[in-house]
Amino acid sequence: MNLKGKSFLTLLDYTKEEIEYLLSLSFALKAKKKGLSHVKEVDGKLLEGKNIVLLFDKTSTRTRCSFEVAAYDEGASVTFLTNSQMGKKESLEDTANVLGRLYDGIEYRGYEQKTVEDLAKYSGVPVWNGLTDIDHPTQFLADMMTAMEHTGKKSEELKFAYIGDGRNNVANALMIGCSILGASYSVATPESLNPDVELLEKCKKNAEKSGGSIFITSDPMEAVKGADVIYTDIWCSMGEEDKMAERINLLKPYQVTMDLLKASGNKDVLFEHCLPSFHDLETTIGKEVYQKFGLKEMEVTDEVFRSSHSVVFDEAENRMHTIKAVMVATLSDKLDY
Ligand code: CP
Ligand code: NVA
């Protein structure tokens, strides 16, 4: 497998074999970091001498830190850039040209998908999508890796049930990834938040080819039947904060509760969440929502979040191992995996 020089903008650009390779490489790199097993193909500092830039137009904890730690672990140097000239005093094309001269790889988190596409087009170096309004492909790798680790199943044996905002970046990435890998994906969401029709058609075609399935319903109890993983995300993504009242109204019946976990019929069902999560009153936004709407927890109850079903912190850790795999696969001169 040779992914050197390839950007990672959406999983739609990757085949089943390529995504499986990235997952397998993630497991090897995690084992290397933890000193668990020896895979000689991933020995040494795989990104030594490389310079990468992390461009963030939206806030982040996990993604930024994962890129940084992964880069440092493998010997790369990192620039974190939040206040660039891009789009303000300098066009995206000119900025991408400059960054491509200085750096070996570019991570971008922001709004439009077109921005990551154009950065890749004009920079000439691999660009990694660290989240846009419509996609979050590195998140999917961590979600799948965590589910495989905890169930011992292969990706095509897994059933994910996503409950909540069915057309946000995280839901899209999960639907795309499951459909390519042959996993089952069911989503429970109000009709107004159904996945984008064009994307859904693409994913249905992928699922036909891979043996996966996609099921859309407005009934959470129906979606979770037989699930290995119940997944949710916040109700208002970054940039949608003004929609809080509308979303609470729409999505209150979609809160992930212990009853919903029980409705899966799987006593070992896992709970996943990309994080950050509003499961208690320990955040300023959580407190504001409580004062305005009387809700103490939003997309998931604190009970589920803290239960033995919850693998959210393993998932957060796996962001680093999977992001490392993406960077190493697309950038390393030393990888022989
Ligand atoms: N899951 C995720 O992308 O987290 P951050 O927003 O903290 O990067
Ligand atoms: N859907 C969320 C994901 C955060 C990681 C957002 O875009 O804010």
101 is catalytic: no
Mutate to test the pocket of ligand 1, among 62, 312, 314 (most ligand atoms within 8 A of CB): 62
pLDDT for 148 equals 98
The residue type at 19: I
CB 320 within 8 A of CB 291: no
pLDDT for 257 equals 98
**What percent of the chain has a predicted confidence (pLDDT) above 90?**
98
Cβ 186 under 6 angstroms from ligand 2: no
pLDDT for 13 equals 98
Q: Which two tokens stand for residue 81?
A: 């850039």
Q: Residue range 287-301: average pLDDT?
A: 97
Mutate to test the pocket of ligand 2, among 60, 134, 193, 237 (most ligand atoms within 8 A of CB): 237
pLDDT higher than threshold 90 for residue 76: yes
pLDDT for 39 equals 85
Tens-digit pLDDT profile for residues 179-208: 999 999 999 999 999 999 999 999 999 999
Q: Residue range 139-143: average pLDDT?
A: 99
Q: Give the separation between CA 222 and CA 52, rounded to whole angstroms.
A: 44
pLDDT higher than threshold 90 for residue 276: yes
Q: Which two tokens stand for residue 137?
A: 């492909």
Cβ 85 under 6 angstroms from ligand 1: no
Ligand 2 atom closest to the Cα of residue 131 is 7
pLDDT higher than threshold 90 for residue 271: yes
136 is catalytic: yes
Whole-number Å distance, alpha carbon 159 to ligand 2 midpoint, is 22
**Nearest residue CA, atom 7 of ligand 1?**
61
pLDDT higher than threshold 90 for residue 226: yes
Which of these, 328, 330, 256, lies nearest to 299 by C-alpha position? 256
pLDDT for 101 equals 98
Residue 161, classed as helix, strand or coil, is strand
13 is catalytic: no
CB 321 within 8 A of CB 29: yes
Q: Which two tokens stand for residue 302?
A: 């604190």
Q: Residue range 244-250: average pLDDT?
A: 97
Q: Give the separation between CA 35 and CA 29, rounded to whole angstroms.
A: 10
CB 47 within 8 A of CB 327: yes
Q: Give the separation between CA 182 and CA 155, rounded to whole angstroms.
A: 7
274 is catalytic: yes
Tens-digit pLDDT profile for residues 16-71: 999 999 999 999 999 999 998 788 899 999 999 999 999 999 999 999 999 999 99
DSSP string, 30-55: HHHHHT----GGG-S-TTTT-EEEEE
